[in-house]
Amino acid sequence: MSNEPTKLLSPKQFSEINGHSLSHTYNLIASGKIRALKNGAKTVITAEEAARYQASLPPMVSRAKPPKSQRAA
């Protein structure tokens, strides 16, 4: 076990890292999709929780057609 402190992110930092709004972050917390902690009056999200959330996202599936030069004949 490491003695290093866990990196804590504010909801604003989490939102900026993941490219969505602050209200969406609070909706994720309210729905239980991410776990937030209280550090005094501050709400925080651990870096490990942020990584777990990112790993849970589905892969992007492109529906675009490949260029004609790459299509099978």
Measured CA to CA, the distance from residue 13 to residue 15 in angstroms comes to 5
- Local structure of residue 16 (DSSP, 8 states): H
Higher pLDDT, 49 or 68: 49
* DSSP-assigned letters across all residues of 29-56: HHHTSS--EEETTEEEEEHHHHHHHHHH
- Tell me the pLDDT band of 65, cut-offs 50, 70 and 90: confident
Structure tokens at 52: 């777990």
pLDDT exceeds 90 at position 36: yes
